[in-house]
Amino acid sequence: MSPLNIKQGSTSHSAYNLRPTFSDVQERHTLAVVVENEAGVLARVIGLFSGRGYNIESLTVAEVDHKGHRSRITVVTTGTPQVIEQIKAQLDRMVPVHEVHDLTVEGPAVERELALFKVAGTGNERIEALRLAEIFRANVVDSTLDSFIFEITGTSQKVDAFGDLMRPLGLKEIARTGIAALSRGA
Amino acid sequence: MTAETMTGAQMVVQALIDQGVDTVFGYPGGAVLPIYDEIFQQQKIKHILVRHEQGAAHAAEGYARATGKPGVVLVTSGPGATNAVTGITDALMDSIPMVVLTGQVPTFMIGSDAFQEADTVGITRPCTKMNWLVKDTDELANTIHEAFHIATHGRPGPVLVDIPKDVQFASGTYVPPQKARTEHYRPRVKGDIDRITELVAALETAERPIFYTGGGVINSGTAASQLLRELVDATGIPVTSTLMGLGAYPASGKHWVGMLGMHGLYEANWAMHDCDLMINIGARFDDRITGRIDAFSPGSRKAHIDIDPSSINKVVKTDFPIVGDVAHVLEDMLRIWKARGRKVNKPALETWWTQIEAWKAVRSLDFKNSETTIKPQHALQRLEALTRDHPKRYIATEVGQHQMWAAQYLGFDAPNRWLTSGGLGTMGYGFPASIGAQVAHPDALVINVAGEASWLMNMQEMGTAIQYDLPVKQFILNNERLGMVRQWQELLHGERYSHSWSEALPDFVKLAEAFGAKGILCKDPKDLDDAIMEMLRYDGPVIFDCLVEKHENCFPMIPSGKAHNEMLLGEAETQGVIDAKGSVLV
């Protein structure tokens, strides 16, 4: 064991024990970052997270305004309240970043994820997979005699739960998009 | 102005002229030859040929600090760009406005591992405020103007424009600065008036207030320094400064309590620890300043004025956060304070000053002088005495003990006169920075206070000093050691001096002569004044090799992991003071 008694969470970005002890509670926040869609902008945002030791739980990005060249990055991150505030301030000061929204604190928000599951099997397992897919409102988007690809949309928890059920039924591959989120209301 | 067609290389030069650039620090190479060809054919911009691209970046920093204008660097692709990275990072850490133009292999060769190809925008993305790879000549002028705008607005910093060689050859439409894209980046400069008023109210009743000023005051411009002086002198509140902020309030000023921080003055650090209202103006609660964070000024309410919102609450929780440019906020503060009747808590302030005077009486900069060996502190005291009255004195430093001693023993009465690498702590910074300052102010006295180890890191720039007749004075405190490393090894690593000295130093006098400069060797305290005068009188670059005490430690010192009120004053107190937790810090 290290003789250096450095507090958990205080060393997330360096060897310094510099973080004031505002709160040690780790929070999970969903941020929506609207950026100029220019070369390297995603690398810039991701580099900020890796360079300063922030967490990325999920990241989704696509151009949402083709005329205005705006992309929306939805990033799910965890950290103490102070780290979350730092992340937002650091994002906001980047030149190509137009807006930063913390959907977790700005009121209720809808979070959805899309996933594709390839499940291979025959006989009862195949029938059970199809039955469970119906319960989860997953669509069959590809079918062979011994496999399905299911498409499921929902919260990350729902996608996780579906994956857990498919695993013993012949789950072969998963592709997930990460979270897309919007605040509720107008 | 009507649309004008020109080549990319012509655009670069035209854009620099339109931005008011008079000096570029650079080094040619294959990927910037078209730009150099244009530079050859004009007279408006002076190009300073450095001897290494790192030197170009630091010289541009020195120029920027000494003028307040952005420094401009022009280097080639690949190694040209990577060599500049240290200087760019240094500028980012110290918020120095700098525009770096790099050549790149032609667009159709990017990604093919071409000769002298490097992913310059990728490499410099984390060390610039913003960077661009320009693939279209029509975008080039616009991008360069945007680069200048971003480098100099908001929190200043380095920006980089990477220009492929085919873009330099191709023709396009020139965009003048007035038509360039800048409206998307307009950081807020005015502080929130309600918050400023709250701070003024707190200032009126505070019993033990202190101004803690930083490089942001200097960056904000000379008006900010003027306003700071007015506010400090009108309120009578003591003022301390970080390494970066020296000169914003004059060292000869009545309310000056000296630099704070790891090697700051006893009175400054104790005042920070014991104050009840700390007003941080353009500083960032750096770890060199705060020491142990949970014991940092425990009894005070803290105000933080900063143009960068991400600086606020980053390290220290702030009670009065004010986002804005220092000059704008100070102007509002002064106006509001005057309108409310110019109140301060006079009796409490008097008691506070009595306490500060008592701390001053400790005389934390006293050292044991010697008749036989030149003490580094003594050398700087003599340098100060003999140059203080020079109307245009600029001091650069390298990094290490000599840097801290220079900050302690030299006084600065004006902003932009002190050029030192604070955030990144770059050995090799000072010599090229002194060149940049001298280029900006040809008639000034520019001295680089150096250690021999740092100085050797960019000694090739002697060629630049000679070529351009730059009479920079290289004042080397030569202890034949990496002094600060040695000091830490003594305090932390059982006096095991692992690789902290050089057994093969050059003869600095001969070295100076080899370059065509003057060398002066001084090793006897009795000769020091005459030798310094000889250096000052010589019209040209001088290497002053001042052989000093080899084992001197730099005090006062807040040991790693300790609080302001645990600072050490001298050798006798150093045994076993840094525990395991402190030793992991740097």
pLDDT tens-place string over residues A121-180:
999 999 999 999 999 999 999 999 999 999 999 999 999 999 999 999 999 999 999 999
**Which one from B129, B165, B302, B518 is the annotated catalytic residue?**
B165
Residue A15 confidence (pLDDT): 40
Contacts of B290 in chain A (CB under 8 A): 18
Residue B559 confidence (pLDDT): 86
Nearest by CB: B585 against A3, A16, A40: A16
Measuring CA to CA, how many Å separate B557 from each of B205, B367, B368, B419, B573? 32, 13, 16, 22, 10
The B542-547 sheet, strands edge to edge: B418-419, B393-397, B445-451, B473-478, B542-547, B518-522
**Which one from B10, B14, B25, B53 is the annotated catalytic residue?**
B53
Q: B309, A89: Cβ pair inside 8 Å?
A: yes
Concatenated DSSP letters of B189-211 = -SPPHHHHHHHHHHHHH-SSEEE
Residue ranges and CATH numbers for the domains of chain A are 27-102 (3.30.70.260), 109-183 (3.30.70.1150)
Q: Active site includes B513?
A: no
Nearest by CB: A47 against B126, B293, B561: B126
- Which of the four pLDDT bands, split at 50, 70 and 90, describes residue A2? very low
Residue B574 confidence (pLDDT): 66
Residue B571 confidence (pLDDT): 73
Kindly report the length of chain B. 586
Nearest by CB: A93 against B133, B308, B313: B308
Residue B585 confidence (pLDDT): 75
Q: B126, A51: Cβ pair inside 8 Å?
A: yes
Contacts of A81 in chain B (CB under 8 A): none
Residue B570 confidence (pLDDT): 83
**Mean pLDDT over residues A20-36, rounded?**
87
Longest dimension (CA), chain A: 60
Count CB-CB contacts under 10 A for residue B348.
15
Q: Active site includes B42?
A: no
Residue B430 confidence (pLDDT): 98
pLDDT tens-place string over residues A107-137:
999 999 999 999 999 999 999 999 999 999 9
Contacts of A15 in chain B (CB under 8 A): 584-586
Question: Does pLDDT of A16 surpass 70?
Answer: no
pLDDT tens-place string over residues B358-403:
999 999 999 999 999 999 999 999 999 999 999 999 999 999 999 9
- In angstroms, rounded to a whole number, what is the distance separating the alpha carbons of residues B425 and B435? 18
Q: A17, B581: Cβ pair inside 8 Å?
A: yes
ipTM of the complex: 0.90
Burial of residue B95 (number of CB atoms within 10 Å: 0-12, 13-18, 19+): buried
Residues 153-172 of A with CB under 8 A from B: none
Residues of chain B with pLDDT under 50: 1
Task: Calculate helix-pair angle for B8-18, B137-152, nearest 10 degrees.
Answer: 30
Residue B573 confidence (pLDDT): 66
Mean pLDDT taken over chain A: 89
Q: Active site includes B115?
A: yes
Residue B457 confidence (pLDDT): 98
The model's pTM is 0.93
